[in-house]
Amino acid sequence: MKGNALLKLESFGQSIWMDFIRRGTISSGELKQLIEEDGLVGVTSNPSIFEKAIAGSHDYDDAIRELALEGKNADEIYAALTVEDIQRTADLFRPVYDRFEGTDGFVSLEVSPYLARDTDKTIAEARRLWVAVARPNVMIKVPATLEGLPAIQQLIGEGINVNITLLFGLPRYQQVAEAYIAGLETRAAQGKALKSVASVASFFLSRIDVLLDPTLEKTMARDKSKADLAATLHGEVAIFSAKAAYQIYKEIFDGERFGKLKAQGARTQRLLWASTSTKNPAYSDLKYVEALIGLETVDTIRLETLAAYRHHGKPAARLTHDAAKAYEALGRLGEVGIDLGAVTQQLEDEGIQKFVEAFDRLMNTIEEKRVAAVREPVDAEAVDHNAGNLAGPTLSGKHR
């Protein structure tokens, strides 16, 4: 499409994935159109996305009713709905996956947020989802918790594609990259293929500034000696962190350790920019997209941000600009009373809790719809009986 800024991003080495999934978008052909006209090459999902899709639409009502009448419980219904959506989406992206020889064309499905602090159960759940979806272009999302690190290594070693999520801090990012490499080394030692394994490390952005900006604004207003530094950091800590993460990425994946694996066909674990929608209306709606365009990266964006970039995006490679300034600025956060390590741990904890709450709301919605579906034919029989219908019960368990 002439003039579509989204289509120009591929020339800068960046892939666009969509942070959204819904059955109606798949069925209507809208997702296929985004692939063909906007160059969309992947999709991610999480508990919040599925909660909005299932609880916030009627797209799934008939499927929930059918599964309920088959005797499925809420957990089984959730599993059936999500796996089907992921399979259908993966099939739409399979031509992309084939065209890019396994670099792009992925769709991600997350393990239960309740497992974020349990290594063994995360591994078991990821294995189950991998088998259930049964598509080479699926990624299983595993949180970047301390407990998630050994799970990442184990799953990569088994050849399961992993999207590492809820990643906020630089030291943790380095651990994530090393877990990926260790998993590949396990495969290499066993003589197994490396080229078929893919992974991304999803670095969350806007939430960092949402948390830190109020503190920086207070410093700007109350402490003249630190106001200039606080102003430099205001609204920029997330982007500074991303630029620093990209430098770490280059050091690790251009290094000797990974080089041995690369020679055997291994792929780098690309950085994926997540949480890229702007929360502060004072900032550009493309703030977390425009600043982070660079080679071997992925940007996952919401539909609204995708439409905005299509309309007025200005593609340019900016990710490596001012990398030294980014490191220097992050190193001075302590001067304005900010402990970035504590901040990123808080964001990780809050991120898990938000996903747990979204998952609970989703499961409650499914249970309510399940109960309603099961009760409906029973109520119909009672009405017939009370009306004096002596011909026996109707086939109320069937769809009418």
Any residues with CB less than 8 A from the CB of 51 and at least 6 apart, and which?
358, 359, 361, 362, 365
DSSP string, 182-221: HHHHHHHHTT--STT--EEEEEE-HHHHHHHHHHHHHHHH
- Spot the catalytic one: 141, 243, 287, 369: 141
Q: What is the spatial distance between Cα 294 and Cα 249, in angstroms, rounded to a whole number?
A: 12
Q: Report which of 135, 155, 64 is spatially closest to residue 94, judged by C-alpha positions.
A: 135
Q: What is the pTM of this model?
A: 0.92
Measured between its terminal Cα atoms, the distance across the chain in Å is: 45
Any residues with CB less than 8 A from the CB of 270 and at least 6 apart, and which?
15, 199, 200, 201, 296, 297, 298
Give per-residue pLDDT as tens, 87-131.
999 999 999 999 999 999 999 999 999 999 999 999 999 999 999
| 141 given a catalytic annotation | yes
pLDDT tens, N- to C-terminus, the chain (400 residues): 457 999 999 999 999 999 999 999 999 999 999 999 999 999 999 999 999 999 999 999 999 999 999 999 999 999 999 999 999 999 999 999 999 999 999 999 999 999 999 999 999 999 999 999 999 999 999 999 999 999 999 999 999 999 999 999 999 999 999 999 999 999 999 999 999 999 999 999 999 999 999 999 999 999 999 999 999 999 999 999 999 999 999 999 999 999 999 999 999 999 999 999 999 999 999 999 999 999 999 999 999 999 999 999 999 999 999 999 999 999 999 999 999 999 999 999 999 999 999 999 999 999 999 999 999 755 444 444 444 443 333 323 333 2
Q: Which alpha helices (DSSP H) does 74-204 contain, by range?
A: 74-99, 119-133, 148-157, 170-189
Q: Are 155 and 191 in contact (CB under 8 A)?
A: no
Q: Can you give the three-state secondary structure of 304-340, one letter per residue? A: HHHHHHHHHCCCCCCCCCCHHHHHHHHHCHHHHCCCH
189, two tokens? 């030692």
Q: Would residue 159 be called left, alpha or beta, if left means φ above 0 and alpha means ψ between -120 and 50 degrees?
A: left
Q: How far is CA 356 from CA 16, 129, 287, 368, 399, in A?
A: 27, 18, 28, 18, 34
Q: Is the dihedral of CA 382, 388, 389, 390 positive or negative?
A: positive
For the chain, domains (ranges, CATH) are 5-205+270-317+349-377 (3.20.20.70)
Give per-residue pLDDT as tens, 183-236.
999 999 999 999 999 999 999 999 999 999 999 999 999 999 999 999 999 999
Give the type of residue at 163: N
